[in-house]
Structure 1
Amino acid sequence: MALATIMLAVASGLSQSSHSISNSTPNSEKSFAKPHALTEKWGDQGDGTYVNPILPGDFSDPDVIRVGDAVYMISSTMQYSPGMAVLESRDMVNWKIIGHVVQDLSAIDRALNWDRMNRPGRGIWAGSIRFQSGRFWVYFGTPDQGIYVSTAEKPAGPWSAPHLVLAGTGWDDPCSFRDDDGQNYLVTTHFSAQGAIQTTYNIHLLKLSSDGLEVLHGYDHVIHRSEGSEANKLYKVNELYYHYYSEVKPEGRVPMMERSKSLDGPWESQQLMHVHGALDKEPNQGGLIQMPSDKWYFVSHQGKGDWEGRATVLLPVTWVQGWPIIGEIGPDGIGNMIWHDWKPVDGLPRRDIATSDEFSSPELQPAWEWNYQPNAAMWSLRERPGYLRLYALPPLRVGHSTSIRNVITQRSLRTSSNQFTVKLDLAGMTTGQESGITHFAKSRAAITVVQSGAIRKLSVAVNGVRTAGPTVDGTTLWLRSDWDFAGRSHFSFSTDGLTYRRLGGNYRMTWGDYRGDRIGIFTSNASGGGYLDVDLVRYETAR
């Protein structure tokens, strides 16, 4: 088995060392005003253009490849399961989550399991996706265990069980690379604390075995070191090796590139883009890609995440004297953020990344992720077809909302208007059980129905402060969260699905542990027992 350099032009059959370079910008025969500020618009505008972000939610640490006409992207998931999301697009603007690489996080770290749940913001970090010899390869890092690899014939899976390639703490942001002679390499960062606050970052180039499953001893080159050196990708274009990385400069974390005629160096470096934490949220970690038109692009997250997390942006790339400059080129020859541009491929339909669900399939839709690895015996789509059944487990620590163990989630998207509605059947609830929907990151809020004997009562809790609501008659209940572009949310409820009443005040959404806000459905019971049936979910967002 072999590893890919990068699939930039699979369909056209270009060799990995002779990719064409286009210096033109997309649809350069046309022009329009390109706003240089964050707006409430996002993604496909329906007129052949797009507005950044293309994904207004927490799709962090992206990497991309193209196989034929399809583009595939991976995104880190930290403690959420299944881990490492895989997305597909035909135009790089409209995306769909099609699967995940890691099905069982507990196989990597038992602390990521439902019975421990003490790895917030850790778990699966950034990685790379490549395609070679008919298989997809994903290498990814976990800060506590090391570097893993998983492979699949199809990007939606099934993926092989993660194999530990490089054990140890502090390994981060790996990318595989296969040279023209067939030798496999891995470029990765190692970070280590020096004292209370200082951390050193070294980027290592390692040789891999022919099957890509182990690091070969005797070859370990440190090819770069600087403050915050990470976000590694390695490419070969027109006989030159290009090592993409990011590093911290006075303006923020910036995209960088170094190139060489040999992997042994010497390397020369070039900054590819300016960043501004407040204005563009520092696009920095991502991947280069060449489309069938021969035009190049850079897909990145915005590293300075707000409550929506690190959203995904798409930027054109212009090759200047052999350097892939990102965005709009300034007088100094370095790129700048572009918010509005022509789509790489026009004519394809819009696609929303938010996912509504009626649970009519025996398998969960890929948009759903659990907070930590769930107990497989405590949820089901088969016991009552057409419903998601969640059984109530005791929380790990009574009174601590962060320790609720059966929480299924999607990302809270940042658009001008967002609404998440669930229809619940409460007939299976029992005394002591509480169920509802919740926002959570650094802070938390929830609308909850609690059962005591035969009485069910509503309440809203915001960071532990509870507002009491009315008693619920009957077993059918609709719960809803609405939020706006600024991250102000409020809860409401309905007993007929038509008329909704607000409960509690506004909640200001946050991010924490390098993750954006999540919207989730949960049930819990300190005494154990009972279940919640989720009939449907309606998740609607504005353009």
Structure 2
Amino acid sequence: MKRTIYWVLAVMLFTACKSMPVTESNSHKAVNPIIWADVPDMSIVRVDDTYYMASTTMHMSPGLPIMKSKDLVNWELVSYAYNVLVDNDKMGLNNGERAYGNGSWAPSLRHHNGVFYASTFSATSGKTHIFKTTDIENGTWEEISFRPSIHDHSLFFDDDGKVYLIAGVGRITMVELEEDLSGVKAGTEKLLIENASAPAGDNIMLPAEGSQMFKVHGKYYLFNITWVRGGMRKVIIHRADQITGPYEGKLALRDRGIAQGGIIDTPEGNWFAYMFRDFGSVGRIPYLMPMKWQDGWPVLGVDGVVPDTLDIAVKNINAAGIVASDDFEREQGDNSLPLAWQWNHNPVNEYWSLQERSGYLRLKTSRVDADVLQARNTLTQRTFGPESAASTVVEVSNMKDGDFAGMIALQRRYGLVGVSRDGNSSSIIMVTNESEEPREVVRIELNQDKVYLKIACDFNNRADKAYFYYSLDGEVWTEIGESLQMAYTLPHFMGYRFGLFNYATKSAGGYVDFGYFDISDNTVE
């Protein structure tokens, strides 16, 4: 019998608190991280009493996610700036090409004269992309793109009507854009800061980057990060009376590597800074900290530390606003997916459907692939901490010889559990790619047309372990194979994802039906 477990937000309320004791003083206040999931490179704007945040999702489609909040703590997905960034071999997983760790990076979100702008850049397209809309939650986005691809830039609208991109690695420069944002005005590049890393010293491993520019009280404030050898990422702030400089800089924060972001004010006039922290295999997770002004400088945190408990009287919903269970039930003609879903690279839409069989996601093979990392139409959602699990049921009667379908903990060092069809027989197998080559750990004969699969992730104290399970009835679960020691790798540059996949190794034309996707904040059901 098909099982559907609906997502209950109440279950998530204390998820982000599990790693710290809940006391009388902090039980009704928000805690850090505000989301224990991969939400890097945040850029935030406020419009009246509503905040909007953009983030990086690289090789995923749709991309450049937009989230909404009323309290700076609890966020929900409301849109994406684009469905497909660029249609080329890398983003399409064609001809052996792939865009892992590329796609689009580090967006800059702005609101100017009633229009929202979300800009990004991409080595995959070789361009800078600017998306704009008047309705950030429900409207369509218009794209403007031009060369070159300007790395980690900050889009900035000045009071005199001029529009700039500020960017650089170590050496920070600025260019002015055409009035319609269609490109860079020739001859406008200007050096702002020769060595933006200088306030952190001379022993620099990663020069200052990740620019975000703000104008407050008539002064210009430029935020960057830098990384010293043998140390951690630090926040550098430069300020000037004119956008062209001269700039003076200072070291603004050195705490657990929490860095890269900016500042935002509340309707009441309070100020906060937002940054992210590299946190093992779950990814880069967002932190919020109080901020005050002192002698014309932003002072981040409390006595130089980002507090674990925030003086904000709300309870975290953690990742509840950016992940979602799905029963795959749709009205006739509705082939849409909740915003929590993203495809690994560009999808091929004619090879997946929510309409061909009511209440099921059908994934069809379209070609022969050598491995799951090259397979198209893998549908993904974020994992999250401190614990998360995802389960599904897959019906396999229409697989062809050589087909492989199931569930993956997706990163370069992946683990998966699924069904392999060999001739007329099927097997449940568990595969780990903890080293450089995938390794089949165990194979169990399957004598029925459906099987239930589950992956559970433990991020407590950076354990970074994934466990794999199967069930023949959806009630009794059996662990299969071995645990995966998850690791955040730069080739993928992304926290682990739960994924549903189906690909052919011999001939195309088979398909499988997934009956549901249930996600939970507990590794034990």
Quick one: which amino acid aligns to residue 382 of structure 1?
Q
Q: How does 1:247-286 map to 2 (within 5 A)?
A: 247-249=226-228, 251-275=231-255, 280=256, 282-286=257-261
Aligned equivalent of 1:402, options 373, 379, 402: 373
Q: Please tell me whether residue 379 in structure 1 is matched to residue 356 in structure 2.
A: no
* Aligned with 2:468 (options 486, 491, 499): 491
Query: Do the aligned residues in 2 keep the contact of 1:48 with 1:342 (CA within 8 Å)?
Result: no
Tell me if 1:153 matches 2:160: no
Spell out, residue by residue over 1:231-270, the C-alpha distance to the aligned partner (whole angstroms, 9 max, x if none): 1111111111111222234543211111111112111112
- 1:438 corresponds in structure 2 to 408
In the other structure, the counterpart of 2:484 is 507
User: 2:145 is matched with which residue: 142, 160, 164?
Assistant: 164
RMSD: 2.5
Query: What is the CA-CA distance between 1:213 and the residue it aligns to?
Result: 2.6
Equivalent residue for 2:430, pick from 424, 441, 460: 460
Q: Which one is further off, 247-256 or 403-412?
A: 247-256
Residue 63 of structure 1: which of 19, 38, 43 is its match? 43
Answer whether contact 1:414 1:487 (CA < 8 A) is retained. Answer: no
Report the residue type matching 1:466 in the other structure: E
Listed as ranges, the matches of 1:222-301 within 5 Å are 222-224=191-193, 225=195, 226=197, 228-249=207-228, 251-275=231-255, 280=256, 282-301=257-276
Amino acid at match of 1:521: L
Which shows bigger deviation, 371-380 or 383-392?
383-392
Pick from 321, 325, 328 the counterpart of residue 299 of structure 2. Answer: 325
The answer to whether the 8 Å contact 1:114/1:374 transfers is no
Match of 2:383 among 404, 412, 419: 412
Look up the match of 1:97: 77
CA distance in 1, matches of 2:316, 2:458: 28
Counterparts in 2 of 1:347 and 1:369: CA distance versus 1, 3 Å: closer
1:208 alignment partner, one of 161, 177, 180: 177
**Would the aligned equivalents of 2:42 and 2:54 in 1 still touch at CA under 8 Å?**
yes
Equivalent-residue separation in structure 2 for 1:153 and 1:234 (angstroms): 22
Report the Cα distance in structure 2 between the residues aligned to 1:128 and 1:41, rounded to whole angstroms.
33
Larger strand fraction of residues: 1
Deviations along 1:250-291, whole A, 9 cap, x unmatched? 54321111111111211111221113xxxx2x1211121111
Give, in angstroms, the shift of residue 467 of structure 1: 2.8
Q: 2:504 aligns with which of 502, 525, 541?
A: 525
Q: Which moved more, 1:479-488 or 1:448-457?
A: 448-457
SS at match of 1:91: coil
Compared CA separation, residues 383 and 456, structure 1 to 2 (3 A): same
Q: Is the 8 A contact 1:91 1:348 kept in 2?
A: no
- Superposed CA deviations along residues 176-195 of structure 1, whole A, max 9, x for unmatched, are 22222222222122x5xxxx
Match of 2:165 in 1: 186
2:152 is aligned to 173
Are the counterparts in 1 of residues 65 and 81 from structure 2 also a CA contact under 8 Å? yes
Which position in structure 2 is the counterpart of 1:217? 186
Equivalent residue letter for 1:286: G
Deviations 1:87-118 (A, max 9, x none): 111111111122211211334x5421132442
Asked if structure 1 preserves the Cα contact closer than 8 Å seen for 2:30 and 2:314, the reply is: no
- After TM superposition, the score normalised by the length of structure 1 is 0.83
Corresponding residue of 2:201: none
Distance, in Å, in 1 between the alignment partners of 2:368 and 2:189 is 46
State the 1:58 CA deviation: 1.2
Could you tell me how far apart the structure 1 residues matched to 2:174 and 2:417 are? Answer: 50
Q: Counterpart of 1:505 in 2: which secondary structure?
A: coil
Task: Decide whether the 8 Å contact of 1:234 with 1:241 is kept in 2.
Answer: yes
CA displacement at 1:162 relative to structure 2: 3.3
CA distance in 2, matches of 1:460, 1:231: 39
1:266 partner amino acid: P
User: Could you tell me how far apart the structure 1 residues matched to 2:427 and 2:449 are?
Assistant: 12
User: Counterparts of 1:93 and 1:163 in 2: how far apart (Å)?
Assistant: 31
Q: Tell me what 1:141 maps to.
A: 121
Q: Verify the 8 A CA contact 1:450 1:456 in the aligned structure 2.
A: yes
SS of structure 1 residue aligned to 2:480 = strand
* 2:504 partner amino acid: N
Partners of 2:283 and 2:21 in 1: how far apart?
15
Describe the shift of the 1:132–1:407 C-alpha distance in structure 2 as closer, same or farther (beyond 3 A): same
Alpha-carbon shift at residue 218 of structure 1 (Å): 2.3
Q: Is the 8 A contact 1:354 1:540 kept in 2?
A: no
* Cα distance in structure 1, aligned partners of 2:381 and 2:352: 17
Q: Does 1:313 align with 2:287?
A: yes
Gaps of 5+ in 1: 1-37, 192-200, 330-334
Structure 2 gap segments, 5+ residues each: 1-16, 198-205
What is the TM-score with the length of structure 2 in the denominator?
0.85
The change in CA–CA distance for 1:350 and 1:337 in structure 2 (over 3 A counts) is closer
CA distance in structure 2 between the partners assigned to 1:517 and 1:359 by the alignment:
23
Deviation at 1:357, TM superposition (A): 0.9
Rounded to whole Å, the distance in 1 between the matches of 2:368 and 2:265 is 48
| Aligned residue identity for 1:154 | D
Large movers: runs of 4+ above 4 Å? 347-351
1:391 aligns with 2:367: no
DSSP-derived class of the 1:523 partner? strand
Deviations 1:351-372 (A, max 9, x none): 7143111123431111111111
Q: Distance in 2 between matches of 1:455 and 1:356?
A: 31
CA–CA distance in structure 1, aligned partners of residues 442 and 244 of structure 2:
66
Q: Is the 8 A contact 1:123 1:142 kept in 2?
A: yes
Aligned residue number for residue 13 of structure 2: none
Q: Per-residue deviation at 1:202?
A: 2.5
Per-residue CA distance 1:506-531 (angstroms, 9 max, x = gap): 11111112212121110011211111
Q: Secondary structure at the match of 2:376?
A: coil
CA offsets 1:269-323 (integer angstroms, 9 cap, x no match): 1221113xxxx2x121112111112111112111x34111111111111211111
Give me the identity figure in percent. Answer: 25
Residues 34 and 318 in structure 2, CA contact (< 8 A), matched pair in contact too: no
Aligned residues: 478
| Aligned residue type for 2:467 | H
Are the equivalent residues in 2 in contact too, given 1:147–1:174 (CA < 8 A)?
no
